[in-house]
Chains A and B, each alone.
Chain A
Amino acid sequence: MTELRYLAPETLDEAVGAFAKAGSAARILAGGTDLLVQMRSGILKPGVIVDIKKIPEMTAIEETADGGFRIGAAVSGMALAEHGKFGKVWPGVLEAVNLIGSKQVQGRASAGGNLCNGSPAGDSVPAMVAAGAIVTIQGPDGRREMKVEDVPAGPGRTHLKPGEILVSFKLPPRPPASSDAYLRMIPRTEMDIAVVGCGVSLTMKDGTVTSARVGLGAVAPTVLLVEDAAKALIGSKLDDAALAKAAAACSAACRPIDDKRGTIAYRTKVAGVLLKRTATIAAQRATQKN
C-alpha cells in the first residue's frame, strides 16, 4: 500500500520546494473540498500532500495601494464573506465564491482550489474572469502573473507548470458606478453543480455601459471570456436589443456537451437567459451605488 506524506510548510519557498521535489505524485491542499473527495473516491492517490493554509500570504485578504484587492489563493469563502469591504466592491465575485457548497464547505473551500481544480463548472471562475482578475503564480522558476481566464486548460487541467503554486488573485481598482454579479443555473436551490454559470462586470456612466466583461461557465471545456457579449453591452443602455444581442453572443460562444447535467440545447439557451439576468443585476448594483 502506498504511503501518504502530509506537509504543512509555513513559507511559500518551502512549499514550492517540497511540491516541485515530489513531482507528479504531489498535490496542493487548500480547503480540500475537491481533493479529499477525489481521494476518497479513488480517482486520486497522491504520495505527498502540501497543505498551503499555514502560509500567511495564502490566507490573506489585502487592499492594495491602488484600491484593488489581493486575495490569497487559500482564503475560504467564509473568510471572504466576513471581510468588511470586499463584498461591497465585488459583490458578484463574493456571491460566486459563496455559492460553492454549503456552510460547512464554505468554511474550507477557496477560490484558488476552485480555479486549480479545473472544472469548467467552478462557480467562482466566471465571476473572476468577468472581474478581470490576474493571478500570481510561484514556481521553481520564480513568480509570474497570468490572466485568470488563461489558467484553465480543460476539464481537470490547468496551465500551471509542474511545481507551480497559485498564490493569489489580484482584482483591479473599481471606477465609480461599477459592479458585478454572478448567477448559475442549477436544478435544485443549493448543493448542486452549475449547468451554466454567468458572471458579468460592468461600469456605467449616465445609464450607459462604458465597460463590460462577461465570463461563462459549464458550457465549454474551460470557463470562457465572452468578448462579443461584452461588446454588445458596451455603449448600450442595456435595452432589450442590446441584451438580446449579448445573450445571442453567449449562446454562440457555447461549445457544450450533452450529459447527465444538461443537454446542448438547454445549456445554449440558458447561457443567454442568464446573461440577461446577470447583466441586469450588475447594472442595478452599479447604479444604486451612485
Chain B
Amino acid sequence: MNVVTNNKWIGQRTIRPDGMDKVTGRAQFAADTTMPGMIWGKILRSPHPHARIRSIDTSKAEKLPGVKAVVTSKDIVDFPIEKGAVMLGIQDMRWMCRNVMARDKALFPGHPVAAVAATTEAIAAEACNLIEVDYEVLPWAIEIEDALKPDAPILHEFNKWEGKPSNIVGRLEHKKGDIEQGFKQADIVIERTFTTRPVHQGYIEPHACLISVAPDGKTTIWSSSQGQFMVRAMTAHLTGIPQSDIRAIPAEIGGGFGGKTIVYLEPVATLLAKKSGRPVKMVMTREEVMRATGPTSGSKSTVKIGATKDGKIVAAHGTFYLQAGAFPGSPIRGAAGCSFTPYDIPNLLSEGYDVCSNRSKVAAYRAPGAPIGAYAVECVLDEVAEALKMDPLDFRAKNAAKEGTKAAHGPVFPRIGYLETVEAAKASPHYAAPLGDGNGKLRGRGVASGFWFNAGGESSAQVNITEDGNVVVTTGHPDIGGSRAGIANICAELLGIDYRRVSVIIGDTQTVGFSNLTGGSRVLFASSMVVTQSTEKIIQTLRERAAKIWNIDPEAVKWENGAAHPVSPNAGQFEPLTLEELADKAPAMGGPIGAGVQLNTQGADGGFGTHVCDVEVDVDLGIARVIRYTAVQDVGRAIHPGYVEGQLQGGVAQGIGWALNEEYIYTKEGKVDNPGFLDYRMPVCSDLPMIDCIMVEIPNPKHPQGVKGVGEVPLVPVMAAVANAIYNALGKRFYALPMSPPKVLEKLDEPIRQAAE
C-alpha cells in the first residue's frame, strides 16, 4: 500500500465536480425527472395513532375517472413475523413491509394504508379520499414513559418482555469490570436523568421517485436516496421483482443525514407503475416528510458517574431508553456503545432499551443514537468536573481513552486521536479568549466530546482511461458530502495529473458493482480504497505498456507526473510516455485501459471530537444563542479540507438546532402539530456564528490515504456543549432538550437552588 506524501491534490480545496450544476439549478434531483405518459401517485395515510384496519374498500376510488391503479398492503410482499428476521443491512424486512404499507394495524398518524396512481396529482388525492377504511381505533402511546406503563397499549402483541406483552422490543448492554465495586471506590458520584425530543434530519429535499415498469418487467427507478443498491434490494424484496430487473438510478440528493437509508415510496410506486403500465411519479410534501419519515428517537437516559478526588473516573452506568417509533430498531447501539467510549473507565455498564410507540419509525440520523447518549454523559461529566473543581478539558484528558484502551463495546483501540482533540481544544484561541461582556445578556462556555464508530463495508469502483487520455471514475455511492471531490483529488494525485482531468460519477445499480449505503461516515473511506486499488492497477498497466513500447522490463518503468519514465538512465534513454500518448496507443498495445475493484473494506477507525461552545442568554426572554463555536476533530487525513470542515460545521449546526429549538410537538390526538419548517425550528443562517474547525490529523494506518470517517462525529458532542455553556452562563442546569425560550424562562423563574445538590 502506498502512503502518498508531498501531495499535490490531496489536501487541496478543489472545486466540487457537482458544484456548478448545483449552484446554477441544473442538477437533477429526483423530483426533476419526468417521462412521457407519466402519472402521479399519492398515499392515503392513517389519521389515527393506533388502529386496527378491519377492511379497506377501494372500489369508489378505482371508479374515479383518471385513476389508473390502486395499491394496498395486499400487493406488497409479506414477511410474516413468525418466520423470523429477514435483514437487509440494519433493516428487518418484516418491519419494512409493514412500514411502507400498514397491514393489520396502523401504528402512527401518517402510516400509509393505500396508494393511488392517477393522471393528475389532484385526481390521485381525490381518489385517496374515496377509499373507505374501516378502523377500530385503539388507545395509543407516544412518549417513552407512556409506552412503558404497565397498562400501556401494546403495539406488537407478539412481543414479550419478561414474559409479558410489552413495548420494550430490544435491549443491548456493554459491560466492563464491576460497577458496584467501582462506585465504592468513588469519592464523588453524580446521577442524573435526561430527556430529549424526537428530531428530524431536516433534509431540504422531500423523498421523491419516478418509476417505470416495462411490460417485460424491466424496472427503472429514479430516486433520491443514500443508496441506489438499498433502493433496488428493498424494492425487489417488497415487490418480488428480481434485482437483475431493477435499475435504480441515483438522482442528486438534497440532503439525507441518514434519513434516506430506507425507502418509503419506491416499492409502492413500483407496484403502481406495474399495475397501471404507466411511469409513476411520487413526491412527498414536507408535511408527509415530517409525519411519516424517520425522525430520530426521543429518549430518556439516566447516567451515573463516579470519580475519585484526584479526578479519575472509576465507574459509570448509563441506561438509555430510545423511542423506536412504530417498529423495532431504535439506535440503542449508538447510544449505549458510543457515549462512554472517549474515556478509559475500568467499571462500566451501558444499557440500551428499544421502545416502540405510536410514532413514525425512526430512521438513521448522523451517528444514530450517539448524540443522545453523549448529551447525558457529557453533561454529567461536566458536573463531576465542577464538583472536583477541575477544568472540564483537563478532566477529560485525564480520563481519555488511548491506544491500548479496551472499549466496552469490544475493540482494543489502535492509535486514536481523542486526547489530541482535547489538547487542541485546550490550546485553541477560543478556549483562551475571555467570554466578553454580553451587554446585559449572560454569557457562558461549555465543552463536550463525542465518539462515533465509523464504518467500512462494500464498495465498488471502475476507473477508465478515456481514448483522449483523461479519467472517468465510477463509484456506487450517492455523494452527500463532497465525496466526488475527494475521490477526484486522490485519483489525480495517484496518476500525477491535473484534478480537472478526472471526472467522478455515481453509477446506477446495473452499471457499477454493489456498493453499500452512503452511511456510517464510510463513503470516502471505502470508495477511496477501491479507487486507489483500481488506479494502482491502471498504473501497472501503463507501466507494462510503456515497457512494451520501449522493449524493456516493466520493473524498469516508473510512473511519475502523469507519464511513464525509465526508472533510471541505466534502464534506457527514452522520452517519457504521457497518459495521453499511452491512451492513444492503447488499441495497438492490448486494448482499452481500465480497472475495477470490489471490496468489503475493513479498518475504519472510529472518530473522536471535542467541542467548545459559547452562548449568550437573554434572561428576560429566555433566548439562548450560540455566539462562538469551535469543533475539534481527529479527521484522519483531510483529503479535501473544505468538505471536511463542511461536515463539521453542518453537524454542529444540526446539533445547535437539536439543543435549542427542534422538537416534535404532538396534539392531544397524538398527531404531529408542527409538520413544517415554520414551527419545526431548525436554525437559519443568522442563528449561527461562523463555526470554527480545528482538524487534528492522525492518519488511519489501515487506509492508503489515512482516511477516517468525519461526517457523523461532529453532531455527537453538540447538545452537551451547548447545555454546559448555558449552565455556565446561568448557574442552572437543564436536563431536557430543547432548551427553547419558554423552557429557559420557566427555569430562570424557578427559585435558585444549589447547582450540585
Set B620, B661, B673: member contacting A273, Cβ < 8 A: B620
A105: interface (CB < 8 Å): no
Known: A266-B745, A269-B745. A190 touches B684 (CB 8 A): yes
Give 19 new A-B contacts, CB below 8 A, not counting A191-B684, A260-B673.
Answer: A1-B122, A185-B621, A187-B661, A187-B741, A188-B684, A188-B687, A189-B686, A190-B684, A192-B678, A260-B679, A261-B679, A262-B741, A263-B742, A265-B742, A265-B746, A266-B741, A266-B745, A266-B746, A270-B745
A193: interface (CB < 8 Å): yes
Cβ of B681 and Cβ of A193 under 8 Å apart?
Answer: no
Q: List 29 A-B contacts (CB under 8 A).
A: A1-B122, A1-B123, A41-B287, A187-B623, A187-B660, A187-B741, A188-B661, A188-B681, A188-B686, A189-B684, A189-B686, A190-B686, A191-B684, A192-B681, A195-B741, A260-B665, A260-B673, A260-B679, A262-B741, A262-B742, A263-B746, A265-B742, A265-B746, A266-B622, A266-B746, A269-B745, A270-B745, A273-B620, A273-B621
Within 175-201 of A, Cβ neighbours of B (below 8 Å) are at 185, 187-193, 195
Interface 0/1 of A253-272, CB less than 8 Å to B: 00000001111011001100
Q: In chain A, what residue has the closest Cβ to B665? A: A260
Within 660-692 of B, Cβ neighbours of A (below 8 Å) are at 660-661, 665, 673-674, 678-679, 681, 683-684, 686-687
Set B122, B678, B741: member contacting A193, Cβ < 8 A: B678
What separation, in Å, do the CA atoms of A191 and B686 have in the docked complex? Answer: 10
CB-CB under 8 A from A191, the residues of chain B are 684
B91: interface (CB < 8 Å): no
Within 170-215 of B, Cβ neighbours of A (below 8 Å) are at none
CB-CB under 8 A from B620, the residues of chain A are 270, 273
B561: interface (CB < 8 Å): no
Taking Cβ atoms with an 8 Å cutoff, the residues of B that contact A are 120, 122-123, 287, 620-623, 625, 660-661, 665, 673-674, 678-679, 681, 683-684, 686-687, 740-742, 745-746
Q: Max chain A CB contacts within 10 Å: which of B620, B661, B674?
A: B620
What separation, in Å, do the CA atoms of A254 and B289 have in the docked complex? Answer: 35
| 7 nearest A-B pairs in the assembled complex, by CB-CB distance | A266-B742, A189-B686, A273-B620, A260-B665, A263-B742, A260-B673, A189-B687
Q: In chain A, what residue has the closest Cβ to B677? A: A191
What separation, in Å, do the CA atoms of A225 and B94 have in the docked complex? Answer: 59
What separation, in Å, do the CA atoms of A265 and B742 have in the docked complex? Answer: 8
Where chain A touches its partner, the secondary structure class is loop
Q: How far is the CB of A79 from chain B (nearest CB, A)?
A: 23
Number of A-B contacts (CB under 8 A): 53
What separation, in Å, do the CA atoms of A187 and B740 have in the docked complex? Answer: 7
Q: How far is the CB of B56 from chain A (nearest CB, A)?
A: 23
Q: How far is the CB of A190 from chain B (nearest CB, A)?
A: 5
CB-CB under 8 A from A41, the residues of chain B are 287
CB-CB under 8 A from B745, the residues of chain A are 266, 269-270
Q: How far is the CB of B257 from chain A (nearest CB, A)?
A: 20
CB-CB under 8 A from A263, the residues of chain B are 742, 746
Q: How far is the CB of B743 from chain A (nearest CB, A)?
A: 9
Q: In chain B, what residue has the closest Cβ to A269? A: B745
CB-CB under 8 A from B660, the residues of chain A are 187
CB-CB under 8 A from B741, the residues of chain A are 185, 187, 195, 262, 266
Q: How far is the CB of B436 from chain A (nearest CB, A)?
A: 19
Q: In chain A, what residue has the closest Cβ to B624? A: A187
Q: In chain A, what residue has the closest Cβ to B683? A: A188
What separation, in Å, do the CA atoms of A190 and B685 have in the docked complex? Answer: 9
Within 231-290 of A, Cβ neighbours of B (below 8 Å) are at 260-263, 265-266, 269-270, 273
CB-CB under 8 A from B120, the residues of chain A are 1
Q: In chain B, what residue has the closest Cβ to A266? A: B742
Cβ of B621 and Cβ of A260 under 8 Å apart?
Answer: no
What separation, in Å, do the CA atoms of A189 and B681 have in the docked complex? Answer: 11
What separation, in Å, do the CA atoms of A1 and B123 have in the docked complex? Answer: 8
CB-CB under 8 A from B679, the residues of chain A are 193, 260-261
CB-CB under 8 A from B684, the residues of chain A are 188-191
Q: How far is the CB of B188 from chain A (nearest CB, A)?
A: 36
What separation, in Å, do the CA atoms of A193 and B742 have in the docked complex? Answer: 15
What separation, in Å, do the CA atoms of A262 and B120 have in the docked complex? Answer: 39
What separation, in Å, do the CA atoms of A273 and B741 have in the docked complex? Answer: 13
What separation, in Å, do the CA atoms of A262 and B746 have in the docked complex? Answer: 12
What separation, in Å, do the CA atoms of A190 and B686 have in the docked complex? Answer: 7
CB-CB under 8 A from A190, the residues of chain B are 684, 686
Q: How far is the CB of B425 from chain A (nearest CB, A)?
A: 27
Interface 0/1 of A1-42, CB less than 8 Å to B: 100000000000000000000000000000000000000010
Q: Max chain A CB contacts within 10 Å: which of B621, B683, B740, B741?
A: B621
What separation, in Å, do the CA atoms of A98 and B741 have in the docked complex? Answer: 24
What separation, in Å, do the CA atoms of A41 and B120 have in the docked complex? Answer: 16
CB-CB under 8 A from A185, the residues of chain B are 621, 623, 741
What separation, in Å, do the CA atoms of A260 and B681 have in the docked complex? Answer: 11
Q: How far is the CB of A186 from chain B (nearest CB, A)?
A: 9
CB-CB under 8 A from A187, the residues of chain B are 623, 660-661, 681, 740-741
Cβ of B621 and Cβ of A270 under 8 Å apart?
Answer: yes
CB-CB under 8 A from B123, the residues of chain A are 1
Q: Max chain A CB contacts within 10 Å: which of B120, B287, B665, B742?
A: B742
CB-CB under 8 A from A270, the residues of chain B are 620-621, 745
What separation, in Å, do the CA atoms of A265 and B679 have in the docked complex? Answer: 19
What separation, in Å, do the CA atoms of A207 and B122 have in the docked complex? Answer: 62
Q: In chain B, what residue has the closest Cβ to A2? A: B122
CB-CB under 8 A from A195, the residues of chain B are 741
CB-CB under 8 A from A189, the residues of chain B are 625, 684, 686-687
CB-CB under 8 A from A193, the residues of chain B are 678-679
What separation, in Å, do the CA atoms of A192 and B682 have in the docked complex? Answer: 10
CB-CB under 8 A from B665, the residues of chain A are 260
What separation, in Å, do the CA atoms of A269 and B745 have in the docked complex? Answer: 9
CB-CB under 8 A from A1, the residues of chain B are 120, 122-123
Q: In chain B, what residue has the closest Cβ to A277? A: B620
Q: Max chain B CB contacts within 10 Å: which of A1, A188, A192, A269?
A: A188
Q: In chain B, what residue has the closest Cβ to A102? A: B684
What separation, in Å, do the CA atoms of A181 and B39 have in the docked complex? Answer: 53
Q: How far is the CB of A156 from chain B (nearest CB, A)?
A: 16
What separation, in Å, do the CA atoms of A283 and B122 have in the docked complex? Answer: 54
What separation, in Å, do the CA atoms of A265 and B747 have in the docked complex? Answer: 12
Q: How far is the CB of B666 from chain A (nearest CB, A)?
A: 9
Q: Max chain B CB contacts within 10 Å: which of A195, A262, A266?
A: A266
What separation, in Å, do the CA atoms of A195 and B683 have in the docked complex? Answer: 17
What separation, in Å, do the CA atoms of A50 and B661 have in the docked complex? Answer: 39
CB-CB under 8 A from B740, the residues of chain A are 187
What separation, in Å, do the CA atoms of A262 and B620 have in the docked complex? Answer: 15
What separation, in Å, do the CA atoms of A185 and B742 have in the docked complex? Answer: 11
CB-CB under 8 A from B678, the residues of chain A are 192-193
What separation, in Å, do the CA atoms of A262 and B660 have in the docked complex? Answer: 14
Q: How far is the CB of B570 from chain A (nearest CB, A)?
A: 68
What separation, in Å, do the CA atoms of A190 and B741 have in the docked complex? Answer: 15
What separation, in Å, do the CA atoms of A189 and B588 have in the docked complex? Answer: 66
Q: How far is the CB of B653 from chain A (nearest CB, A)?
A: 12
Q: How far is the CB of A182 from chain B (nearest CB, A)?
A: 15
CB-CB under 8 A from B742, the residues of chain A are 262-263, 265-266
Q: How far is the CB of B514 from chain A (nearest CB, A)?
A: 40
What separation, in Å, do the CA atoms of A41 and B286 have in the docked complex? Answer: 10
Q: How far is the CB of A81 from chain B (nearest CB, A)?
A: 18
Q: In chain B, what residue has the closest Cβ to A42? A: B125
Q: In chain B, what residue has the closest Cβ to A263? A: B742
What separation, in Å, do the CA atoms of A191 and B676 have in the docked complex? Answer: 12
CB-CB under 8 A from A192, the residues of chain B are 678, 681
CB-CB under 8 A from A265, the residues of chain B are 742, 746
Q: In chain A, what residue has the closest Cβ to B287? A: A41
Q: Max chain A CB contacts within 10 Å: which of B120, B622, B673?
A: B622
What separation, in Å, do the CA atoms of A1 and B120 have in the docked complex? Answer: 10
Q: Max chain A CB contacts within 10 Å: which of B123, B683, B741?
A: B741
CB-CB under 8 A from B687, the residues of chain A are 188-189
Cβ of B623 and Cβ of A260 under 8 Å apart?
Answer: no
Q: How far is the CB of B280 from chain A (nearest CB, A)?
A: 20
Q: How far is the CB of A281 from chain B (nearest CB, A)?
A: 14
